[in-house]
Structure 1
Amino acid sequence: MKVVGLITEYNPFHNGHYHHITEARSLTGADYCVVVMSGNYVQRGAPALLDKYTRAKMALACGADLVLELPVCFSSASAEYFSMGAVSILENIGVIDYLCFGSECGKIDTLKEASDILLTEPPLFKKILNESLKAGKTFPQARMEALRMFMPQADISIFSSPNNILGMEYIKALTSLNSRIIPVTIPRIASGYHKEALNEGVDSVISSATAIRRAVRNKTPITDLINHVPKEVFPLLSSTYNKTWPVFEEDFSLLLQYKLMAETSASLTKYLDVTPDLANRIKGLMEPGFSYVEAAKAMKSRQWTLTRINRSLLHILLNITEDSMKQYKANGYAQYGRILGIKRTSSPLLRTMAKKSKLPLITKVGGTANKLSKTAQSMLNEELCSTALYNEVVYNKFGILPKSEYKQGIVLQD
C-alpha cells in the first residue's frame, strides 16, 4: 500500500487543487491520498470562506480518500507552526510514504538546500537575519536576505514565493521529526498565489483561491465560477451559497471589538504572535466602529505585515495563547488525528491507520475527551470553541445554524 499525503486549505477547492491531487497520485503511484486540511480558520489569519465539512466533501469528491483536520492552533499560525503541525499528523498516523506539495520553484533539491539552512541556522545566517530585523525589515524579508547570501545562484523568487516558503518548511519539519516520508513537489501552474483576477477561459480554468474569494466578495454571480472549479464541486458551492457561506473577516468585527475592549496591552501579550510592542499598537489604533479589515490595515506597518496582524487578531479572538503553543510543541505538536471525512472504499486505509497510528484517531467528539491526554483535550477544546464561534457567525449572517461538533458526523463519500 502506497499513500501520499497533502497539506491543504481548499479555500475554496478549485481546478488547481484537482490538478494537485491528480499529479500527486500519478507521480508517487499512490493507492491512497490522505489530506490534512485546515478547519474553519486558515493560515492568512482569517475564517475559511466555507465550513470545513463542505470543503471535506469537495476534496473527497475530487480524489482524496481521507481528510484529517489541522487543529486551529496550527491552521492559523506562521508557516513554521502550520507545517510542523500538519507534518506531525502525517508522520504519526503511520501510513504516509510521500508528502506532495505545489511550489513555484518545482525543484525539490533547491528547496531541500534552503530548508537545511533554515534548520541549522549557521552563525552568518543568524547575523544577517538579526541585522535585517534591527534595520526594520519584517521577519520574512529578513530571512529572505539571509538565505540569499547562502544561495546567491538561486532564483530570488524562491525566498519570497508563498508555496516555496511552505515547501521549505515542510521539508524542514520532516527533517526535524526524522521522518521517513519522502517530499515531492510539483510546479504551481497557470495562476500566481496572490493573483486577484480570475483567469479567462471556457473550460477547466485554473484561477487562484485569492481570485475566487475576491470574485465572491465583489458579488460576482456564482455561475461565473463554474469553469474555475471541478464539476463535482460546483453543485456544492451553488447549493449552499448565501445559506452557509461566504464567511469573511468582517463578519467577526463586533466580536473582535468586544474582545479587545476586555483586554489590556499587558493581557494581550499572552496570545500567540502578540509582542508587547504589537499589543500597544493594537490597543492604541483600534477605533470604535472599525471593521476587522479596517483594524488590521490600520495596524499594519513596516515592521508587521498584514498577514501577521491578521493572525495576531485571530489568536486574540480565539484565545490561542503562547503558552498553549509551547505546550503543544513540547509534546510533539499535533496531539490527535481528527477525521473529517473518508471514502467508503478506503476502509483498508483506515484499518491500517488504526493499527499503526501513534496518535489517537477521533471520528466523533462525544465521549472522546476522557480518552485524551490533558494536552490533547486542550487542543480539542480550542477547536470546539472556535468552531462554535464560526457556526454562530454563520447563524447570525444567514439564519441557518450548522450542526454542533457533537452532532456532526464524519463525511462519508461513496
Structure 2
Amino acid sequence: MDIIMKVVGLITEYNPFHNGHAYHLNEAKRATGADYVVVVMSGNFVQRGTPAFLDKYSRTKMALKCGADLVFELPVCFSTASAEYFALGAVSLLEKLGIVDYICFGSESGDISLLTSISDLLLTESHGFKQIFKEAVKAGKTFPEARADSIKALLPEVSDEFLSSPNNILGIEYIKALKRLQSTIKPITITRKATAYHSQELDTDDTFAISSATAIRKTLKEGNTLNNLRRHVPAPAFAIMEEQFEKTFPIFEEDFSLLLHYKFMLEDRQTLLQYTDINSDLANRILRMYSEYESFPDLALSIKSRQWTLTRINRALIHILLNHRQDNFLTYQQKGFTQYARILGFKKESSHLLRKIVKNERIPVITKLGDAKNKLSKIGLTMLNEDLYAANLYNQVVFHKLGTPLKDEYTKGIIIS
C-alpha cells in the first residue's frame, strides 16, 4: 500500500540559488506541510531572455543540496517564453507528474485571494473588461497598460504597484494556468522577504542577507570577487559556486554577441517572421538596427521602445538565436504544452518519487536521452531537440570563454545527491 505523502511543487530559475530561494523552499514545506519538494527549473536560458548565469547542472546540485528532492528541466521553449506561457509550460509539467499537491510561489503581495480574483478576471474577459481594454488600446496604451487599466477599473483595490510587481504577475499566471488546465493542485503564496526582485544592490543585513539574483549577477559582472557573495548564498550552494567559478561561470548576454550577429547575417524579413514573438514591425526594426550593434545588450537597448520592453526584446533575440519557430510553439500549445519530464537530478532517499511518476504513466519520463526516441511523439522530439540545441550552444560558449569542455547532453549523467 502506498504511503500517503504531500508534495509541493516549485517553479524556479535559481540563477543562482541564494538565501531568498532557501527561505522560499523551507517556507513552502512549512506552509503546506509537504514531505517532499519537486522543482521545475529553467535550463541554460531563462525567462528574462538571457543565458543562465550558471549552468543547469550546477544549479541542480545547489537545489538538491539545499532541500529539493527532484529537479526537472523546463523545456527551453517555455523557459524563454512570456509569463503566461512560462507558467503554462511549468504548471503542465507539474500537473502531469501526478504526485504534486501544491504549487507554492513567492509574491510581493502575499494575497492569494486577490491574485485569484485577478486570474479569474483575465480568464473570463467579461464584456466590461473587453470594452475597457479596447478603449485603452484606442487611446494609445500598450497591451500591459491596457490590461492593467481594465483590471483596476473592475477591481479598485488593485494598485499600479501590485500589477507591476514581477512575482505578482507570475503568481497570477500560475493560478490562471492551474485553472486553464483544470488542475487539482492547490496554489499557495508566500510573501517575498527583503529586497525586490530586480534590486541592483546586495542586501546589507548582517544577520541574514537576502539579495536578488540580479544583484548577485551584477556584483560579479562588475569585477568583484566571489567572496563578496558568501553571505548572500547558502553554504552548500556557495561551495558549488567556488568550485565552478571561472571554470563554467559567470556567463552573460555579451558572451553570445558574435553568435547572434552571425545569425542575423543569415536572416531576412521573411525568415525572421517565422520565429516566436516576432511580428512585422519588430522584424523591420531588428533589421534596421542589427548591423551597427557591438553586443547583445546594445542591440536589445537600441530596439527597445515604448511598444516593446527590454525583456520582450531579449526574449525575441533568444528565440532567433535558438531557432524557436512560431509554428512549433503553436503546436506545443495545441498538444498540451510540456511533452515530457526530463529529470536533471534527485536525492537518493527520494528516488521512490521518481518511480511513482514513471508508474503513473501520465507523461514520458526522460532519464536517458538515448531512450527518448522510443518514448516521445514527433512533436515531443521536436521540443527535446530544441533543448539539446540550446544546451550545446551554451556549452560551446562556456568553452570559448572559460576553456572548460562540458559533457554533451547524451554523456552528462543525472545529478544524484
For the aligned pair, the TM-score class normalised by the smaller chain equals over 0.9
**1:37 aligns to what SS in structure 2?**
strand
- Give distance in 1, aligned partners of 2:83 and 2:143: 12
Q: Does 1:326 align with 2:330?
A: yes
Change (3 A) 1:355 1:370: closer
Q: Which residue of 2 aligns with 1:84?
A: 88
- Whether the 8 Å CA contact 2:301–2:310 is kept in 1: the answer is yes
Q: Does 1:372 align with 2:372?
A: no
CA drift at 1:202? 2.9
CA drift at 1:137? 3.3
Change (3 A) 1:137 1:111: same
Q: Tell me, which stretches of 5 or more residues in structure 1 are unaligned?
A: none
- Give distance in 2, aligned partners of 1:45 and 1:315: 8
Q: Which residue of 2 aligns with 1:210?
A: 214
- Give distance in 2, aligned partners of 1:88 and 1:187: 24
Q: Does 1:240 align with 2:215?
A: no
- Out of 158, 181, 187, the residue aligned to residue 183 of structure 1 is 187
- Give distance in 1, aligned partners of 2:396 and 2:95: 34
Q: Tell me, which stretches of 5 or more residues in structure 2 are unaligned?
A: none
CA drift at 1:204? 2.9
**Paired residues for 1:117-266 under 5 Å:** 117-266=121-270
CA drift at 1:158? 2.0
Q: Which residue of 1 aligns with 2:69?
A: 65
- Give distance in 1, aligned partners of 2:65 and 2:143: 39
Return the letter of the residue paired with 2:67: G
CA drift at 1:357? 4.0
- Out of 322, 331, 356, the residue aligned to residue 360 of structure 2 is 356
- Out of 120, 139, 152, the residue aligned to residue 116 of structure 1 is 120
- Whether the 8 Å CA contact 1:74–1:81 is kept in 2: the answer is yes
Q: Which residue of 2 aligns with 1:271?
A: 275
Q: Deviations over 1:133-180 (max 9, x none)?
A: 344433222221221111112233221110000000000000001100
Change (3 A) 1:125 1:155: same
Identity %: 55
Change (3 A) 1:136 1:317: farther
CA drift at 1:351? 1.8
- Give distance in 2, aligned partners of 1:175 and 1:256: 38
- Whether the 8 Å CA contact 2:20–2:210 is kept in 1: the answer is yes
**1:259 aligns to what SS in structure 2?**
helix
- Give distance in 1, aligned partners of 2:266 and 2:128: 43
CA drift at 1:267? 1.3
CA drift at 1:235? 0.8
Q: Which residue of 2 aligns with 1:56?
A: 60
- Out of 344, 348, 358, the residue aligned to residue 340 of structure 1 is 344
- Give distance in 2, aligned partners of 1:87 and 1:134: 34
- Whether the 8 Å CA contact 1:76–1:82 is kept in 2: the answer is yes
**2:307 aligns to what SS in structure 1?**
coil
- Out of 37, 40, 45, the residue aligned to residue 41 of structure 1 is 45
CA drift at 1:289? 4.7
- Whether the 8 Å CA contact 1:148–1:159 is kept in 2: the answer is no
Q: Deviations over 1:310-349 (max 9, x none)?
A: 0000000001111111100000000000000000000221
**Paired residues for 1:377-396 under 5 Å:** 377-396=381-400
- TM-score for both structures, normalised by structure 1: 0.98
In the comparison of the two structures, how many residue pairs are matched?
413
- Whether the 8 Å CA contact 1:14–1:230 is kept in 2: the answer is yes
Q: Deviations over 1:359-385 (max 9, x none)?
A: 100112123223210010000000000
- Give distance in 1, aligned partners of 2:379 and 2:242: 39
- Out of 280, 287, 290, the residue aligned to residue 283 of structure 1 is 287
- Out of 407, 410, 415, the residue aligned to residue 406 of structure 1 is 410
- Whether the 8 Å CA contact 2:304–2:313 is kept in 1: the answer is yes
**2:114 aligns to what SS in structure 1?**
helix
Return the letter of the residue paired with 2:50: A
Return the letter of the residue paired with 1:361: V
**2:206 aligns to what SS in structure 1?**
coil
- TM-score for both structures, normalised by structure 2: 0.97
Alpha-carbon RMSD: 1.1
Change (3 A) 1:109 1:317: same
- Whether the 8 Å CA contact 1:137–1:302 is kept in 2: the answer is no
- Give distance in 1, aligned partners of 2:262 and 2:291: 12
